[in-house]
Structure 1
Amino acid sequence: MLFFVSTVLASLLLIPSYALPTGSHGDHRPGFPRLPPVFHGGILCGLPIPVVQRFLCPRQDGGSPLTVSTPFGNAHGASDDSGTTRFAVKYANHNRWQASTVVTSWLLPNGQSDPTAMPMACPQTDLNSSAFVEDCLSMVLYVPDSVKSGSKAPTLMWIHGGSFTFGSANGPGLDGSKLATATNSIVAVIQYRLGALGLYAPSGETNLAVKDVMTAMTFLQRVLPSFGGDASQITIAGQSAGASMIRTLLAVPSAQNLFKQAILQSDTMDYGFYTPEIHQTLLNHFKASLSCSATDTTCLNALSLTDILNAESDLSGAAPGLTPAANPAEPLRPVHDGTLVTSTFTPITPFPRVNKPLLITTVNDEAGFTIYGGVGPGGLDPATYEFMVDSAFGQKSATTLLAFADYAVPASANSTDGDGGETDVTPQLQQMGTDQVWRCPSWTFARNWVSNGGRAFVGEFVVGASYPGNEEVPFCTDSGVVCHQDDIEIVFGTAPNPTPAQAALIQEIQARYSAFLRTGNPNTDSLRTWTAAGTSNVHATQLGASGEAPVGGCDPSLWGAAVPYDYQTLGL
């Protein structure tokens, strides 16, 4: 079976309800898969979603200055009434398309002298050039006032999402002050090189962005004791592509001594790492778009960021035509190079023996923004739905999927819905997309992790806070709906004017994260038991409700067995 059926796009565009609007070029937002206007790579791709981008919302508030002595020199920060002190710092030096190295002295980001200034983003397309800088390997430390020298506090290091091409430490909701105070821990929100600058060095060196994150952890290990942190108690956490970065790091043997455990939120686990051959194919196309040879360092260093980002955009658009593995939702990804990244966590390589505790979560309506934003208010009729599933998955798998209760066309489909229209089966498509890309492969990963010596706790957010930008799709603001990214402001405690249900979940999840940071277990005496995942039943705890999430399509006999995941079909 091959998911990437070239005839689907042409067929869909003949249907007026799904034709692309003039000038539509898709949407991309931090933490959410990039969605160009093509139906390619499973059920989620091909739904045009024209929404306004929202990238940066830095805290530029003032505060009283504070100085802390570190091995790198004096760290200058600013405290405010949040109960934390914020330290923005450049953690690494790097030359273009070369591996980063830990700094030798404490420097504020962007050459600033004002300790309240926040880091500028790493270079990325669709962001004004005044908002990014190439020398962008910075982080923001949030240190609660309760943590003093010698405290041995744990640290949560957050890795932002954005399909490996967008986002920053200044993303909406990523102010770590409340999370640091609630967990009595240090919170570090980091940046890493994005897109072609982080993943497609003309020299052929791979995974520079992954190495950046390792450099950030090395910096933290050296500096944390100065702030009252324990260098051996680093938990890495991230959402969407940030979680995918963590999955990559779990496959890097040389990174294992840099962190103790990990939290993966909404990882697009259906997308595997690239093979060296796929990476080389994409790299060749990128190099052909540059006006320099791969060995002409002087020329490469003289290229403008505009030229590089234009070549990156060309690569992203061309990638699906170069290899079926290049899903347009995330065309630029880390590579299983066999030297740094030594496992795929898929059947292609033996699953390694593991021992780190993991906390793995998804949200109830991961695909809601994509599906409802693409289908639109007119809904999806059964005939078009069946055509889409058949075209995307092939007849055999489509028959299996459409026979499953969660995805089946209702028996009443031939009757009207009361308004004279056909039955709307958008909910079935949304559930299928959620299960395919996020929920079920995450459960499969958890079962495999436990089977190979690790411990995992699986959860599903059934309460969320609508993330900035998600309001562009009305479905995502409906009561009880939790779309992709709606967990971020719950975890960070930055949801504006939280409802009682949101406030209760913020308090619960921060208490569970506090426990996990210290023990590798999210359970506390005051909260209901969160059962650890087993080798068959993952016991996915509902976050925001009592009980466990229904298994549904994530039964091991469906996704990954009767219907292969993308990474199985594509040999990743």
Structure 2
Amino acid sequence: MSKQPSSTQDRLENQTSDPIVRTESGDIRGRTAGDVHVFKGVPFAAPPFGPNYLRPPQPPEYWRGVRDTLRFGPKSPQVPYPPGIAQGLAELVGTGEDCLTLNVWTPSLRTAGRPVMVWIPGGMFEFHATGAVAYYDGGRFARDGVVCVTINYRVGAQGFLYLADGVPNLGLLDQIAALEWVQKNITAFGGDPGRVTIFGESAGAMSVATLLAVPKAKGLFRRAIVQSGSNPKLNSAATAKRIGQRLAEILGIEATWEAINATSSDRILHAQAQLRDNLVAHPDPAFWGEVALSFLPWAPIIDGDILPVHPIDAMRAGAAADIDLVVGSNTEETRLFLVLDGSIDRITEESLSAIAGLYGLPQEGLDAYRLLHPGASTGELFSAIQTDWFWRIPAIRFADAHAKTARALTYMYEFAWQSPQMGGRLGASHSLEIPFVFDTLGLGTEPLLGPTPAQELADAMHQAWAAFATTGDPGWPKYDAKRRSTMHFDIASRAVDDPLDKKLKLWDSVH
């Protein structure tokens, strides 16, 4: 039964035509757009600078009076995007110190118990990480009875630096702090803290998968959706320390938290950019470890405390047994990167053989890919192999692990809609499903999706995500490790069984 609003809430709403909500830190004023109330730039933690620099997130200070939350907060200070990537993002903010904020869209402040969806954005743990994107607008979820929250978190060295005498995984702790804020405050927005679904894409999806293995996050959410990030490319403590030491060498300082704390944010960002240039120019596994393949120098760290083990190992041990899970990937993930920077046309046979070898795919496996992709160029074969190694095969293994150990339900999807942009070469590439999920086609999406993307597909995907958050059932057959039922999202969507059977056999011996 829905709870009636308190008399205090009634008074707050009646004082102005704009909605006002009382949170633990003070009253906030939002805006009403149609039937949706929107609150932007709501602090869930204090600004992580000054005395809070490179520290775990601290509670925001209580304020008196009513605080306007009408504009998105800035994103975490970060280095510039790699070439080509920024054109596909419709970001609405720059960087700034008061970056630990979130945004809420709700259909009503007077009806309690609504499901809640919390979006964790991606960005390779080094860029982006902001909820302030045109096509992340949560208004369509609110229209369909879901309270939608999008969050910010720290990235790069400020979020994932690891030195012996400091606290690691600050960016991950930011995400947990946002989820704790939701538990304490979302009832005032009409949400049910017992029905929280976390969802994310790319590094945001890796974050979702990682949070399944973090003891501190237990009880903060009931369901999870992992979009293109089900095998988090995390860093071991040894690799993370080596990267921290390399950053300190570039800065010319001791590899200690005291020395880093005394270094300006701008200098750290400059050193970060130089470190990435070093990695790209010389990706030697002897030095970079697993980062030589993942190219994610700043990522969650398996530190033995905040993150005790890798999420796939935690999953196999039953860590997410009570969490309903949707896992998925896109058919041609890697094309986003190879097409936007033009490298898809510069890949040689030598490069193709080398990357297959680095991934552990034997020559007969490479030959099999040629048969499975007749007429594909060398660059297109490279893209197919990398897509399967980084995203599609790990999604199956992650879903298998959950389905074998969980009491809750598992679901799998594949996004296969082909973008017409760039001569059709983008295909169903990385991140293209996001505006379909949010039902925000046309909000900054034309560079990647074209002028007339498939609204009927957005209707189907958005409704499935909202249904999963509401009931735990997205509307297609559940997944098990034998049939591997998968919803194939395209103009004509349909459920299929074990669509990657032939490719999975090629990767059986590769971990």
Q: TM-score, normalised by structure 2?
A: 0.82
1:122 maps to 2:89: no
Aligned to 1:138: 101
Aligned to 1:490: 436
Deviation at 1:368, TM superposition (A): 1.6
Q: Secondary structure at the match of 2:459?
A: helix
> 1: CA distance between counterparts of 2:67 and 2:419?
35
Q: Secondary structure at the match of 1:131?
A: coil
List aligned pairs for 1:227-306, cutoff 5 A. 227-267=189-229, 269=231, 272-294=233-255, 297=258, 300-306=260-266
Assess if the C-alpha contact under 8 Å between 1:160 and 1:239 holds in 2: yes
| Farther off after superposition, 454-463 or 211-220 | 454-463
Q: Tell me which of 47, 71, 74 is aligned to 2:27.
A: 74
> 1: CA distance between counterparts of 2:37 and 2:417?
27
Percent same amino acid at aligned positions?
23
Deviation at 1:516, TM superposition (A): 1.0
Q: Secondary structure at the match of 2:115?
A: strand
The letter for the 2-side match of 1:241 is A
For residues 557 and 351 of structure 1, do their structure 2 counterparts lie closer, same or farther at Cα, with a shift above 3 Å needed? farther
Deviation at 1:553, TM superposition (A): 5.9
Deviation at 1:448, TM superposition (A): 1.1
Q: Tell me which of 81, 89, 97 is aligned to 2:54.
A: 97
Deviation at 1:106, TM superposition (A): 5.9
For residues 378 and 430 of structure 1, do their structure 2 counterparts lie closer, same or farther at Cα, with a shift above 3 Å needed? closer
1:311 maps to 2:271: yes
The structure with the largest helix share of the pair is: 2
Root mean square deviation of aligned Cα:
3.1
The letter for the 1-side match of 2:75 is A
List aligned pairs for 1:29-40, cutoff 5 A. none
> 2: CA distance between counterparts of 1:260 and 1:92?
23
Q: Tell me which of 505, 523, 531 is aligned to 2:457.
A: 505
Offset from partner CA, 1:129-151 (integer Å, 9 cap, x none): x921133101111112xx23342
Deviation at 1:406, TM superposition (A): 5.8
Offset from partner CA, 1:265-299 (integer Å, 9 cap, x none): 11162x532111111111111223335445574x6
1:431 maps to 2:387: no
1:537 maps to 2:502: no
Deviation at 1:210, TM superposition (A): 0.6
Q: Secondary structure at the match of 1:231?
A: strand
Aligned to 2:299: 333
Deviation at 1:361, TM superposition (A): 1.6
> Which structure exhibits the higher relative contact order, with contacts defined as CA atoms closer than 8 Å and separated by 6 or more residues?
1
> 1: CA distance between counterparts of 2:369 and 2:99?
48
Assess if the C-alpha contact under 8 Å between 1:465 and 1:495 holds in 2: no
The letter for the 2-side match of 1:557 is K
Assess if the C-alpha contact under 8 Å between 1:82 and 1:178 holds in 2: no
For residues 520 and 101 of structure 1, do their structure 2 counterparts lie closer, same or farther at Cα, with a shift above 3 Å needed? farther
Assess if the C-alpha contact under 8 Å between 1:368 and 1:475 holds in 2: no
Aligned to 2:327: 360
Deviation at 1:464, TM superposition (A): 6.6
Q: Secondary structure at the match of 1:496?
A: coil
> 1: CA distance between counterparts of 2:235 and 2:478?
31
> 2: CA distance between counterparts of 1:224 and 1:126?
34
Assess if the C-alpha contact under 8 Å between 1:435 and 1:554 holds in 2: no
For residues 201 and 278 of structure 1, do their structure 2 counterparts lie closer, same or farther at Cα, with a shift above 3 Å needed? closer
> 2: CA distance between counterparts of 1:349 and 1:517?
21
Offset from partner CA, 1:139-174 (integer Å, 9 cap, x none): 111112xx2334211110001110001111113411
Assess if the C-alpha contact under 8 Å between 1:476 and 1:483 holds in 2: no
List aligned pairs for 1:355-504, cutoff 5 A. 355-373=322-340, 384-385=348-349, 387-394=350-357, 397-404=361-368, 410=374, 424-453=377-406, 454-463=408-417, 471=421, 473-476=422-425, 481-496=427-442, 502-504=454-456
Assess if the C-alpha contact under 8 Å between 1:286 and 1:315 holds in 2: yes
